[in-house]
């Protein structure tokens, strides 16, 4: 083959991706190193950003679209895709993380690397590109010119805030950078602070995606006989950095082989447990107000994170979940509450890893009943003694992390974030047992019953832990409110416990 023929078989490729999937993007770039590949780092957004993007879409011959839950909802990824399609570029969808496929892509062949890069998936992608190389004309004329696009900074800022509320942190950062680059000004809002907050969310999300990606690769190594030993060595290193992340339960296999998954095995995303050993807790004495009593708290496990939007959505989506009468039989008033409002309320703050709010106490308990059945062990809400024990540990600390308040370790009114944060955010604010959000973010329903009742004579339920709207004093482990169990609010969620 002549040098000219070889050059003609090198394709100019544009990779479109959500920034949270940067690691997947780099992996694809390595696989396509025989081609001329371009991707936008999105680190610097200027006033002529769309002009540059259009120039590169016009330059390319193939458009590689990395599909994930974030990219299919990303406004800029969608715009890039529409432009490439309108210009007649060859489209190569690559599924990097499981997501609902957009309608416009359901009929197209796509390469699936969501469970790891395999020989078959690499062959499929390269074959698709090679076929497009052979069928394309050697000299392509630009079908559309890249014209300058005027950016309204207020519109970009509003779009960024909307994306932030929906949990689309990649879009949020991008649009906020656009607003700043195009001169957004407000006498009341410091856009740099807003952008910094969005960047924090995005960084946390990227770390989670990268952890998940590396874990999947390790599982594939272990499941392949010739690389099994390498896989177990990699898992040991992975385990040292992420001791609590093991959705496939690899650590349970003492013989060094993956145990067969039980039929009908069930997992919830981010459902991890922190063991709290038996110990003492100083709690308020109900008989002597203002005085404490020391009680012994039996060993238990508390969920590492608050119950998330994604977890509760699985309860809703399960045909035998939210609408199953069996889960509402724990209290005669629970099913009556369900019948009065048989559908869950819409969430205020989107994002799979944000805490689920706007749930009643009855809904939280119904979720526990459902999850108990799924996992085969009793799951419920914490009680007062468990809360104090998990919060303060053996050294009776004032705050979960120590004895000095630090607003960067929690989400209370002092933090001035004003919305619930992702449950994985505060790595520097965990309790002595590694539990997140013991202080702030959202209030947590408990299993404790108040002596007070509502107008119907139904006992109220206790919430603790404070929220993003409350001052730090109300996040004290001994502070609580009693509420009608039918109450729901954007600042109230829940977390789980189980016996050890």
Contact 450, 484 (CB under 8 A): no
- Tell me the DSSP string of 6-20: HHHTS-EEEEE--GG
- 114 in the same domain as 24: yes
Contact 97, 209 (CB under 8 A): yes
- 43 in the same domain as 10: yes
Contact 443, 492 (CB under 8 A): yes
Which of 50-54, 394-398, 450-454 is predicted with the least confidence, judged by mean pLDDT? 50-54
CA–CA separation, 22 vs 213, rounded Å? 11
CA–CA separation, 368 vs 315, rounded Å? 10
Position 184 in a domain: yes
| Cβ contacts of 495 within 8 Å, gap of 6 or more | 302, 303, 305, 306, 307, 381, 382, 437, 444
Q: pLDDT tens, 310-343?
A: 999 999 988 889 998 889 988 888 988 888 888 8
Res. 269 pLDDT band, cuts 50 70 90: confident
- 159 in the same domain as 295: no
According to the model, what pLDDT value does residue 309 have? 94
**Structural domain for 168, as ranges:** 153-252
Q: Helices (DSSP H) in 16-118: which residue ranges?
A: 22-31, 49-59, 75-86
Position 268 in a domain: no
Contact 265, 254 (CB under 8 A): no
Q: Which of 159, 121, 156, 116 is nearest to 23 (CA)?
A: 116
Position 111 in a domain: yes
Q: pLDDT tens, 193-232?
A: 888 888 887 887 788 788 888 888 888 888 888 888 888 8
Res. 308 pLDDT band, cuts 50 70 90: very high
Q: Cα 447 to the chain's mean position, in Å?
A: 27
- 279 in the same domain as 242: no
Read off the tokens for 363: 């809904």
- 370 in the same domain as 463: yes
- Tell me the DSSP string of 430-459: --TTS-S-SSBSSEEEEEEEEEEE-TTSPE
The enclosing H or E element of 460 equals strand 459-464
Q: What mean pLDDT is reported for the chain?
A: 84
Domain CATH code at residue 54: 3.40.50.10140
State whether the Cα torsion 322-435-375-380 is positive or negative. negative
CA–CA separation, 330 vs 366, rounded Å? 8
Q: Calculate mean pLDDT across residues 463-487.
A: 95
pLDDT winner (highest mean) among 52-56, 94-98, 195-199, 277-281:
277-281
Q: Calculate mean pLDDT across residues 18-38.
A: 84
Q: Calculate mean pLDDT across residues 285-295.
A: 75
Position 192 in a domain: yes
Contact 302, 497 (CB under 8 A): yes
Tell me: pLDDT of 390 over 80.
yes
Q: pLDDT tens, 420-452?
A: 999 999 999 999 999 999 999 999 999 999 989
Give me the number of domains the chain comprises.
3
Q: pLDDT tens, 356-369?
A: 999 999 999 999 99
- 176 in the same domain as 104: no
Q: Hey, what's the torsion of the CAs at 262, 264, 265, 268, to 10 degrees? A: 180
CA–CA separation, 109 vs 107, rounded Å? 7
According to the model, what pLDDT value does residue 5 have? 39
Q: pLDDT tens, 88-111?
A: 888 888 888 888 777 777 777 888
- 281 in the same domain as 245: no
Domain CATH code at residue 486: 3.90.1580.10
How many other CB atoms are there within 10 angstroms of residue 343's CB atom?
9
According to the model, what pLDDT value does residue 26 have? 86
Position 127 in a domain: yes
Contact 458, 449 (CB under 8 A): no
Q: pLDDT tens, 141-155?
A: 444 444 445 678 888
CA dist list (Å): 55 to 113, 133, 147, 309: 29, 21, 9, 39
pLDDT winner (highest mean) among 104-113, 160-169, 231-240, 309-318:
309-318
CA–CA separation, 246 vs 466, rounded Å? 30
Tell me: pLDDT of 285 over 80.
no
């Amino acid at each position: 083959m002549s040098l000219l023929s070889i050059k003609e078989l090198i394709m100019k490729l544009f990779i479109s991706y959500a920034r949270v999937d940067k690691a997947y993007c780099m992996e694809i770039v390595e696989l396509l190193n025989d081609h001329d590949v371009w991707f936008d780092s999105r680190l610097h957004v200027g006033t002529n950003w769309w002009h540059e993007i259009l120039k590169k879409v016009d330059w390319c011959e193939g458009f590689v679209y990395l599909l994930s839950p974030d990219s299919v909802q990303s406004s800029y990824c969608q715009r890039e895709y529409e432009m490439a399609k309108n210009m007649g570029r060859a489209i190569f969808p690559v599924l990097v993380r499981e997501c609902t496929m957009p309608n416009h892509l359901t009929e197209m062949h796509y390469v699936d690397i969501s469970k790891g890069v395999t020989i078959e998936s690499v062959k499929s992608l390269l074959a698709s590109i090679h076929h497009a190389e052979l069928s394309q004309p050697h000299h392509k004329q630009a079908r559309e010119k890249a014209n300058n696009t005027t950016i309204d900074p207020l519109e970009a800022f509003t779009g960024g805030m909307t994306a932030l509320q929906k949990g689309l942190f990649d879009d949020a950062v991008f649009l906020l950078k656009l607003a700043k680059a195009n001169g957004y000004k407000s006498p009341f809002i410091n856009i740099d602070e807003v952008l910094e907050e969005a960047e924090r969310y995005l960084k946390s999300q990227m770390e989670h995606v990268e952890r998940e990606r590396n874990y999947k690769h390790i599982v594939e190594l272990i499941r392949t006989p010739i690389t099994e030993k390498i896989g177990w060595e990699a898992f040991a290193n992975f385990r040292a950095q992420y001791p609590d992340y093991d959705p496939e339960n690899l650590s349970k296999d003492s013989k060094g082989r993956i145990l067969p998954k039980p039929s009908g095995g069930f997992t919830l995303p981010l459902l991890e447990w922190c063991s709290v050993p038996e110990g003492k807790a100083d709690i308020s004495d109900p008989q002597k107000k203002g005085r404490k009593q020391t009680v012994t708290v039996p060993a238990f496990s508390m969920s590492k994170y608050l119950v998330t939007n994604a977890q509760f959505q699985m309860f809703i989506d399960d045909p035998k979940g939210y609408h199953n009468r069996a889960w509402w039989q724990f209290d005669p008033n629970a099913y009556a509450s369900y019948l009065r409002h048989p559908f869950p309320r819409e969430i205020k703050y989107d994002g799979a890893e944000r805490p689920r709010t706007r749930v009643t106490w009855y809904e939280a308990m119904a979720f526990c009943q459902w999850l108990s059945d799924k996992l085969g062990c009793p799951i419920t809400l914490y009680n007062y003694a468990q809360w104090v024990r998990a919060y303060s540990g053996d050294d009776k600390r004032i705050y979960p992390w120590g004895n000095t308040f630090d607003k960067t370790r929690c989400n209370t009114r002092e933090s001035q974030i004003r919305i619930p944060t992702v449950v994985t955010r505060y790595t520097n604010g965990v309790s002595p047992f590694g539990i997140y959000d013991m202080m702030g973010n959202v209030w947590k329903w408990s299993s404790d019953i108040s002596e007070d009742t509502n107008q119907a004579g139904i006992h109220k339920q206790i919430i603790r832990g404070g929220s993003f709207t409350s001052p730090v004093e109300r996040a004290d482990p001994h502070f609580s409110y009693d509420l009608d169990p039918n109450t729901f609010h954007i600042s109230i969620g829940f977390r789980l416990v189980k016996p050890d």
